[in-house]
């Protein structure tokens, strides 16, 4: 995925909006789970961690469909 190319939303075909998702990473950060579980144990750590205690995901969103397309 190139940052110079704005993808179209696969649902409504509108241009997607570039940006980043940020979350605090102080208590474990972001993990990918194939299935939700009660305590979210395990999972694969994903994202771009900074020394400021944040985890970032760069990508695009469609505000109409509330769809995120993120690079991790």
Residues 13-72 that bind Zn ion (CB under 5 A): 62, 64-65
Applying CB under 5 A, which part among 5-13, 28-36, 38-46, 47-55 lies near Zn ion?
A: 5-13
Does 8 participate in binding Zn ion (rule CB under 5 A)?
no
For Zn ion, the closer CB: 11 or 32: 11
- Take residue 51 and report the two structure tokens written for it: 């020394």
Among 1, 3, 6, 12, binds Zn ion (CB under 5 A): 12
């Amino acid at each position: 995925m190139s940052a110079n190319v704005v993808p179209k939303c696969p649902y409504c075909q509108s241009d997607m909006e570039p940006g980043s998702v940020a979350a605090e990473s102080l208590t474990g950060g972001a993990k990918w789970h194939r299935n939700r579980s009660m305590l979210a144990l395990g999972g694969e750590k994903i994202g771009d961690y900074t020394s400021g205690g944040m985890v970032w995901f760069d990508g695009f969103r469609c505000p109409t469909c509330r769809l995120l397309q993120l690079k991790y």
